[in-house]
Every structure is written in C-alpha cells, then in structure tokens.
Structure 1
Amino acid sequence: MTALAYDPADPAVRRNPFPLYARLQDDDPVHWSPALKAWVLTRYDDVRQMLLTDQMSPDRLRPFYAQLQGERRDTLAEVMRYMALWMVFRDPPEHTRLRRLVGTVFNLKALEALDGPVSRVVDHLLDQLPTGQPVDWARQVAAPLPAYVIMDMLAIPYSDFPELKEASDELRAFIGGARADGDRYAVARRGAERLARFFRDLIAQRRADPGTDFVSRMIAARDDEGRLTEDELVATCMLVLFAGHETTTHLLGNAVNALLDHPGQLQRLREDPALIQSAVEEFLRYDGPSNALARVVKVDHQIDGKTLRAGDRVFGFANAANRDPRAFSDPQGLDLGRTPNRHLTFGFGTHFCMGAPLARLEGQRCIGALVQRFASIRRAPGETDWVDALAMRGVSTLPVILN
C-alpha cells in the first residue's frame, strides 16, 4: 500500500483531495505532514474539538514570525503589522474586544439590510452574460459579485475593484498558499502595502467627511475600553475585503461546479426554488471554500493516541470533516435537501465566521437566480482550474454555456 502523504502542492490533490481525505480518516486521522511540517486532522469530531479547545490557539502568525531571521523577517514586517491584528488570529481577550467592536457595525441586522443591494448586483452581473456561448463563471460572476457587495458596504467605487483584487490576491500568497517561500513573502508584502495605503487614505477621507458606510461607522464605534486604533481600523478593513470576497467567491464557483457534476440535483433545485437555503448549506458542506483551519498547540496533549507538542502547527480540514461518514450519511453525495447539516465550513465556537450570514445571502440570491433564469447550464470546452491554496478551496476558472 502506498504510504499516505498529504501535500497540498500536488496538482492531483488540488483538483480532488477527497479520496485522500477519506483514506486519512480511516488510516491516519491525526497525520503528520512532512510537506506542511504540521499535523493534519480529518475526522469531524477532531476538527470540531480543535476549534473549541483552549489547548490550541489561532495565533499562529506571531510565533511563526518570531522564529524568522534576516531578510525573510524584514520582508514580512509590514504584513505582520496588520495581519497580527486580524481578529481571526487573536486569542481572548484581544479577540473578544475586537469582535465586540466590529460586531456593533458588522451584525446580523446590518447584513440583512444588504438583501436588496445583493440582488441588484446579482441581476447586474447575470444581465451581462451572453447566452449560447462560453463564459467563465468564476471570473465573470463568482469573483466580482462578493467584491462588489463589500465595496458597496465600504462605499468604494467599483472602478477600484481591479486594483484591490490584485492586491488581495497578492496577500493570499501568504495567508492561504499551499507553499511558503521567499518570493511569496515578497508578493504578500506588496499586497499588504497596497491595501494598507488604500485603506489608510480611505479612513482619512471618512474622518474628514463621515457617512453611513461601514468604514465611517467603524471609526465611530466605541465601547468601555475605547475605540479601534488606526492600525486596527486598517487591518479590519483589509480583513473584511479579503475574507468577505474570497470565501464567497469560492462558494459561488464550487456550487456551480457541484451542480454541473450532479444534473439531477440541478433539476431538483430548478423545480423547487424554495430549496435554495438548504442547497447553499449543502454546497458549503460538499465542497466548501474553507478547506483548512489552522491552530498552534499551546500545551502538550494527545489526540487519538498521537502526542501534539506545544508549538506544533495543526490544520483541521473542514472539507474532510464535512465528508466524514462518522458525522454525515452518504457524505460523498450531494443532497440539496440534507438535514441536519452541521458542517464546519464557517468554523465553530468563539471564532465562528462573522460574515457567514452575508455569504449565505449571496449564495442564495446568486445561485437561486442563476438556476431560475437559465433553462440550461452546461460545461463549456476548456479546463476547470483550482486555486493553488491550502486554507481555501475554489475554482479559478469555470467555463460554462448558459441558455
């Protein structure tokens, strides 16, 4: 039997990691990956516990940066200046303070108010798609839609999208890349510098002329402990832009790819539009955008007989856990009416994704409109490509023909 080895840089794994995930679950559920120099967890209960335990920390950036020396440390200094302030990488009490302040603005009521704007963006993008000829769903709809919604929230003109998308992609080289090397660090630094410069200027404009947008309200947000610092404001804007469009972009791309692979489920959704809410939950479970969630071991402890040492990195693979037969019936199948559906795509516990309601809304409005508007959705000639990433999973190109 071939030895099990998880290497996210393997193109075959990037295209379809699920057979390997299933083997790891059965034969090596707490797997040491030499390629990652980290532990890989693939069973549902183990990943869920990783997200709940106080024996691990999401603060994986600062320990990583502390052990760097020389040129690499200098290269990543500006990246760390902001990313170390992202709440997703902070433990309580810092995480609690940041989440409380951001939550005064980025809350369920505010996100529900975006229903109309989301639907307008969906209609705008679908109106531009030609029928009967190839279009790239990933690039023409999945990428711009959530970015435009976020830009509406921040009151940024759509004309700034190409610059911000390019800078965000550069930052992704460090956050979610399958490999870490000097070139990627330099690319990530360029992306961080571009985004920080853009948002620092934007914050100055909103201080001088505040409005009702997200940035203006974040500037004004305060609690008993005070306000967000200037760097925290910049970092939060970067996080909202990056997380707010990357995750949903891959949700929209992966969902259409899944429907193309399951024409019976596509027809089921077309005949029963009310199924869209559970359908989006199933898209999130079946091939979700959050491939792996990372932690650092705080204290030595064991999982399934393996000893994890303080300082070890751990990746809990949500996409593996979401297809664990110990947690889901027929886990490899796509069932748009699946219930219950307790997937881990948005995390679990105190770090549950704040943007989950918005991602769900965008998925429901976009996929629902696509299926009802076009009587035929089929693959076009050309390859479906996948992003070269570890933390995220999504199609980078998806040629389709709509009629």
Structure 2
Amino acid sequence: MTSKPIGVAVLGLGNVGSEVVRILTENAEDFEARIGAPLEIRGIAVRRVDCDRGVPAELLTDDPAELVGRDDVDIVVEVLGGIDIPRKLVLSALEKGKSVITANKALLAEYTGELADAAEKSRADLYFEAAVAGAIPVVRPLMQSLAGDRVNKVAGIVNGTTNFILSAMDETGADYAETLAEAGRLGYAEADPTADVEGYDAASKAAILASIAFHTRVTAGDVYREGISKITSDDLETAKSLDCTIKLLAICERIVTPKGKERISARVYPALVPLNHPLASVNGAFNAVVVEAEAAGRLMFYGQGAGGAPTASAVLGDLVMAARNKFYGGRGPLESKYAKLKVAPMGDILTRYYVSMQVADKPGVLATVAAEFSKRDVSISTVRQQGSGDGARLVVVTHLAADSALSDTVASLEQLDVVVHVASVLRLEGTTV
C-alpha cells in the first residue's frame, strides 16, 4: 500500500532550484524509500512561464503566493534569493503550518528571529543547512551533534568567490582587478560582485553560525565586516615571507571582557593565516569551517561551498528530514536563544596586526614608528624593511592587543612626516601570541 504523497512546492528554478527538481525526479524511488512516503512536486514558481524550463509546463506558475497557499502543499523549498519577496512567502508558509527549507542566507541573517517565532507558533519546521556553506554539513552538526557540548569558536572560509580570487592572486602574482575579471569570466564572480568581495555574503553566514553556536540571536548588522578589494599582490608576497597566506575569514567566538563579562564576537575580514593552519590549504572555490568545542575539540568541515548541485544536496538533505517529520509526526530542532549574549564591539577584540607602509628612507624612521606602537601598549613582534629610497617599505607585525589600540596606532602612523603612506592593514589569525 502506497502512503499518501507529501506535496512539495519549489520557489525558484535557477541553478539550485533546477538541480533540486532534477535530483528529486531522477531519484524519486530512493526518496520514497528513505522517507516512507513519495514526494510529489506540486508546483514550481518562476518569474516567467512562457519559456522552456526543462520541466513539465503544467508545474510552472508565476504566482508563488498561490502555490504556497495550496492545501496539497506540505513543504516549501525556497531558493529564490533576495529578501523582501522570500520573507513574505516563507512567513506565509510557516504561518500555515508548512515546513520550509531555504538556502537564503541574507533572509536568515536579517529575519531568523521572526521566522523562528512563526515556525514555533505553528509547530512547523524551518531548515537551512544550504544557507551557510553549500554542500558542507555544518548547521546540523552545530544544532544537533554538538548540542551537548559547549562551542567556543567557529571560524572558516565561507565564500568561494573571494577564496578563488585570493588563491589565484597567491599562485599567479596577478593583481586584484585582473583576478576578479578572470573570476567573472570563469563564472565564479557575479556581474556585480559586491556582496562577495566586500564581505556581505560572509557576514550573513557568520551571523547564522554565531546564532546557532552561541544560542543567541545575531544579525548581519552585528557582524564586523571588511572585504578583499584592497588586497595587493605585494601583501601576498609579504605574507609568503612570513610563512602565511591571506584568506577572507568569518570568525565567531566567545570572549571574556577585562571585567569578566562573557561576550561573543562575530567578524569577517581578510587575514594572514599561517601556512601550518588547516585553513591555509583551502584553495580555489572551496570552503571550510573549523569548530572548536570543549569536549569534542577541533572539528573541520571541508568541501564545495557553492554551485547548483552541491547546494541542492544540502537542500535535499533538509527536505528528507522535513518530510520524515511530516510522515512520522516528529519535529525538527527549534531555535535556541536562551543565552542572550551581547555582541562585543570590534575594538574590544584581541587581534594581531600586519601593517605595511611606505616610509622615508632616512635614520630614525624605525624609532619614530615604534614609538607610536609603544604609546598605546602595542608590542611589536616583527619588523621588516623592503627596498630603499622613495620605494622604501616598512612592514610591522604586532603581538596581541586590543583592536581599538591597534586601530588608533594606524591612524597616528598616517599623520607622521616619516610615513608617506600606510598601504595595507591586515589582521593575523591562527596564532596566540
């Protein structure tokens, strides 16, 4: 006897939506065996229905609200992108008691609380594994596998476009503009790459990871953010001389203030990473996330962070979980927000700095520069001078200090007569000194 089908609505038929529909169709028998009931696509919402989409025309609709509201739809898969329209559709689905699977990190980073409240009120499921790192399973391990542990830090490379650009710059010696153009030609960068290269995409993902790991609602606006557009080939060459590379990192961690208050930090920026650190070897468009927990220790998740098929894999994993809950009467994990920790300002975070500056080539320059660091109790770890004459460049790497003190030091350096120009300011991660 065949069980009653579970109805699925798919919102969006781009790279991810197309792969979701294809895999569901081609592996229908396997999905039925895994779930206990068949999955049936009730409709697919697209902007235009008057073109060949490679799916039965009768499934297509340009009215997603009507599709979401249908009585024969049990689960909604949202892969539209954007915020305003998906927000309304997802809220509508949840309020009607329909489970939702979304890959929309921007939506979740802004409205996780609102969506989670709607899901809890109607006893619906909200799954979003695909919103953070494509095929890499990191959301579910944080929510379930590590639910009995205390997570202290989550850090990683969560944007494939920026990792491809930095890896290519490191390998070829090409500059940023040239490498970005190549990334666009190869399909790794969007026509407007701002969300990726300026760190907005990674910040949305950091907000989601911090919310889950630390049982606290964190939005994208809480995340300190810097992008990679100012990284130069000289920076990468200097990084090599320091046995480092440069990666755009998303870092979420627990900290304790000097007054003994527990806080969390969520930040995204390009940083020097020692070559012996596990994230240093993550190249190309791949992603990786390192989780540090008290009992489990250090865990690393690595794989394809974007793309139609990899992201569809994560979406379908969520779909199977939601469908099983529909069939057996269970529920997925609810939002955990009991900790209500405050997000610390970036100035309170202990970091290390790499500062590259063009300086006058004359006696006393180093002493003058070092004095500015000393005034703010910032200890210098390494100093290197490269070139001479008008091309003299001084590179300073500091020990750990409050980010506010380091920022003030850099501002003061720019006012010195002996400093022609502060060319680059980067942080150094993956060390403790």
TM-score range, shorter chain: under 0.3
Normalized per residue, the structure richer in helix is 1
Task: Provide TM-score, normalisation by structure 2.
Answer: 0.24
Higher relative contact order (CA 8 A, sep 6+): 1
TM-score by length of 1: 0.26
Q: Please state which structure has a larger fraction of its residues in strand.
A: 2
